[in-house]
Structure 1
Amino acid sequence: MKGINCKRQNFMAALAGVLLLLFMAGICTCQPSVLQTPALGESGPQGCSACGQDNQITQIDYETEAILPITQAAESVTSDNGLESSTFGAAPIPVTLGSPSGTISSGSPTYVWNKVTGALFYALEVKNSLNAVVIKQWYNGTDTTGSETPTVTLAAGTYTWRILAWNIDGYSWSSANTFTVCSSTSLPGKATLVSPKGTIGTAKPTYQWKTVNGATRYHLKVSNINDPNNPVIYAWYDASEVVDGLNCYIKPDTAIAEGSYKWWIQTGNCNMEGPWSNYAAFRFANVSPGRPSTISPSGLVSTSSPTFIWTAVKNAAGYHLHVENDTATVYDLDYSAEEVTSGSRARARLPAALPNDQADYYWMVQAYNDAGTSSWSSLRHFELVCRG
């Protein structure tokens, strides 16, 4: 909704007792219409004009509640009745937060803060452990009691929250409070490890395991088999950092030396630490990978989206796939070994269909790791005879 410019005395009239009527009608009172939920701006509610100042907002984004900054009031203008348009004279002071804090059992907490003099609106902002905003909501300073329960239910995890107090002269953020949502009453189960296993060619592998129901955090332990009591990696990770659907992934910054290793995952939730997994073993060999061999596609192919298959190479960290036709390179793509390897084969799909029917194509693949690259495989030919 477009904000409507109006005379500054409307604001004084609003404070004199007709604020609610103007507010309901959507007339400019330096507040948004109650028919809308204003988005959270860095310096004010989105959806109101500060009555002639250069911060008029054009539209509310219902879906994303986009964070769009507006300019705070830069001047004070005297109206016809001799009174200043702002009776506040300064931005409101920061509020003091009450609850939630510490560990709580509900994902729908009530957020409590003290109201401060001169605040027209309050904005609640809640972020998760990845610093992503999960709740952003404005509250009218007249209507709120400083105790609000949003409709969003938070998953188990750690969060921070703060309150912005706003009027037409400025705004202030409170300090942040931290709390953890914990509804667990039992231990999570044991994790199943996926990779790395066998011989690898990178000092910084990605560790993958199956997601465990009820686990809100995971503990990674990696030890050289010759020094099992001094792990080279020993770290907890919040579930939000590692979970991707049915699997968990983490690639620590710690580089390991050449040698043989064992690794484990321990599950946990906000109350308790669960069991350790069985270990998986791998060896890091800092030598270049061998040469892969292409398998398919080959010959006549009836689909424009073939699966490219080649032999997996021991200690490869990734593969480079090159596809060309008679006139130009069509694709140069990189795939991690974990992404494409299944047993003794590697399989990859192109991001889009091949462009031309009745065309000849040629492809080859190269393996690589921290130590270097393999030689290219032989060039394999296939002909696309129709679009599948």
Structure 2
Amino acid sequence: MKEKPYGEILIAFAAISAVALLFVMGSTAQPGGFNLTSPENSENLNDNTPTFVWEAAAGADNYGIWVDNDPDFSSPVYENDNLGNVTSFTLPDENSLPDGVYYWRVRAENADGYTWSSENRVFRVDTVPPGTPVLISPADGENTNDNTPTLSWQSVIENSLPVLYYVAVSDNSEFPYENENSGWITDNSWTAPELRDGVWYWRVYARDNAGNVGENSDYWTFRVDTVPPEAPVLISPADGENTNDNTPTLSWQAVVDPEPGSGLLCYELWLDNREDFSTAYQENLTATSWTPSTELPDNLYYWKVRAWDNAGNFADSAVRTFRIDTVPPA
């Protein structure tokens, strides 16, 4: 028999060794590392049969999942070590999770071993909507001369944070449409854009971080009134009048607050012996006349009347004078 050259024997040996090495390496390689994808860590969910998603692990042909309400996974509420070669799994309806905090992890397997996911994750199941916001300001039925009012309400108590709020403003109490809204915001107050004068209705919703939306609050109303009432017209005493009455009756015409005004609140009488009213006597009245309860000293007096409406708007009358002189001529 003819002997093979020495070089051919070496080549054949090297080829056999390489195949053997590949066989040995392939048969002892456990799955590669991988990460969990969804739910995200610390995510809030309103689904009590969530879908779990993870990356594929190199070399894996089977996966298992563990879900527990304890981070040490000592008593899983759900476990399945034979999901097959999949990278997602939806919890069955019969294993739906009660509301609460849960931890989850995944194991990748093949015939030669297993590899755990790079981290364990936590999530919250929350299927309960947040409470109903309690409105604070403006008070129900309030009148304001601010046409960009700030609306405020109490924060709701909630596990799935942050809570978002939605303010709806309409000129119709049935809210068939919204004239203005805040969108979803984190604050518990919101300043409305400029509103026209009139009556407005507003209410607030809350949405938690799991996506649950609560019932809207009862609506409250407020009136925007930026128009002052008519200026009072003084009647008596006539401007520049002289009188020997130490308790003269001052009178003026009744004022009308124009629609859609908030209505007249009161009159404010100003009386002073100085033209700048720096030491004025002031009194709020609902009547259209006033008589001093004590005698006024002889002097020159300045007086005016201010009309206030319920929204805080006011208008002043013209200023008049009168002189009290009770001393007879010599």
Q: Same fold judged by TM-score > 0.5?
A: no
**TM-score, normalised by the number of residues in structure 1:** 0.28
Whose RCO is larger (CA < 8 A, sep 6+)?
2
**TM-score, normalised by the number of residues in structure 2:** 0.33
